[in-house]
Amino acid sequence: MEEKLNRLKEILGEVADLNQAASLIGWDQQTYMPEGAAATRGQQAATLGKIAHQMFTSDEVGKLLDDLLPWAEGQDQDGENYRLVKVAKRDFDQATRVPGSFIVRQSQAVAVANQAWVEARSKSEFSHFLSHLEVIVDLAREYVTFFPPAEHPYDTLLDAYEPGMKTAEVQAIFNTLRPQQVELIRAIAARPQVDDSFLHLDYPEQAQLDFSLKVAREYGYDLRRGRQDKAPHPFCSSFGMDDVRITTRVNTKFLNTCLFGTMHETGHALYEQGIGHTWARTPLASGASSAIHESQSRLWENLVGRSRPYWERYFPELQKTFPSQLGNVTVDQFYKAINKVQPSLIRVEADEATYNLHIMLRLELEIAMLEGSVALKDLPVLWNAKMQDYLGLTPPNDAQGVLQDVHWSWAYFGYFPTYALGNLVSAQLWEKFRATNPDLDDQIRNGDFSSLLSWLRVKIHQYGRKYEPQELVQRVTKSKIDPAPYVRYLQTKFSDIYGL
């Protein structure tokens, strides 16, 4: 079997090389590619993707996996060989269950739907997108039929982003979390609002970029194996654990955009740079799931980067960088300003206390769409009603309401829950680490993040996709994904800030 295992690894390595090359040209497309090269770049990406898909779904790979799986199941089930074969088999089954003709139809529908969404959003008229969304939802239902029956049809969509996670689990978590977050937001709304006007002054671009890169480096981001560039929408791209790049964007009238966007993407990059080299050029050389990845970005952005100890250390340096803007601001005023809670219409602008409610709203509507329990034409009204119920706001138009996210036009059903789940996992990990490191605040005040990063490397990063998300969280915290630590974190933090 060793010869077959080596042959499988050889093919998987070549597939990984092709996919990473495709990711590299995708990174370039978002950063430095000249506008006129879009069509050529699209052809290049399609060719690389086609070759990688053909190699991975070949009869040879299928036969190798069929031969190796019984053997691997007789090995140590926590060992490298078993986990590699198991994950490769899962990916192979997902890639081969969906007919090529369906992929073509879905790709064509998404291309048209995305253009329709752009137009509908610009005009703020959901009706322009409705017929395209109907096609996308029908395709999502058809996609589910290619897989074995699940407890709920949404399980199949969710599984693509959160392996092994069930819709019922997510609903139970959110049903526990929702009323507590709504109660907290209402309590905050009754208190005097903090002043964050000084965050909206003029902050020169290069100074923001320089400071944010310093933040990333001090967190532990290895610039020998990474770099930061600008992009319209911040992202992290990995071309192997030795080439992990981040991008950020700058708003010269709002300090938070670049600063916390960089912290967020650095969290993703630290994860990718920490994956064990034993998984190089295999399907396991990435994060365990979307939620686990998001837990890393939110931990470094919020639990570290928006903490009081962090700014007790770094605010004097920020003041020196922007003396006219922040010279008369105290560290306490700054800390409260960057943690201001204010329900907003737009998800990507939401604060820590309100963000998850945006996700819950979307999940409920996605499930209803898939089940056919709502008429799609009624989505704007349903959206607005849930916004009012959860956040006390009613969108004035479709652009700021049901049309604000691009995900549905891309057929990304099942993705939204991972954003909120990542928040919950970040607090679970934070609470677990703090329990054995009671001097964590002092470490942060001293600008020492080495113990935290080392712990995350050992407990999370090194494993890549070796464990499914719930399995990984339980190994580290002795519990599956649990909203309680996140609720405790929010209540403690915002009771202090708003005097609840």
Residues with catalytic annotation?
A: 265
Alpha-carbon distance of 489 to 485, in angstroms, equals 6
The residue type at 332:
D
Host H or E run for residue 137: helix 127-144
Distance from C-alpha of 472 to C-alpha of 478, rounded to nearest angstrom: 9
Beta carbons within 8 Å of 127's beta carbon, 6+ residues apart: 120
* Residue for token pair 């099942």: 414
CA-nearest of 309, 406, 351 to 110 is 406
Burial 18-31 (b: 16+ CB within 10 A, else e): bbbbbbbebbebbb
The token pair at 297 is 């970005």
Contact criterion met (CB below 8 Å) for 42 and 105 = no
Distance of alpha carbon 321 from alpha carbon 324, whole angstroms: 9
Distance in angstroms (rounded) separating the CA atoms of residues 460 and 475: 10
What is the Cα–Cα distance from 279 to 33, expressed in whole angstroms?
A: 31
Phi, psi (deg, nearest 5) at residue 479: -150, 150
* Residues found in the chain: 500
Yes or no: say if 304 and 259 are a contact pair by the CB < 8 Å rule: no
Element (H or E) spanning 248, and its range? Answer: strand 244-248
Half-sphere exposure of 137 (CA within 13 A, CB side): 20
Token output for 487: 């609720």
Residues 6+ apart with CB under 8 A from 13: 281, 282
Residues 6+ apart with CB under 8 A from 136: 109, 110, 113, 408, 409, 411
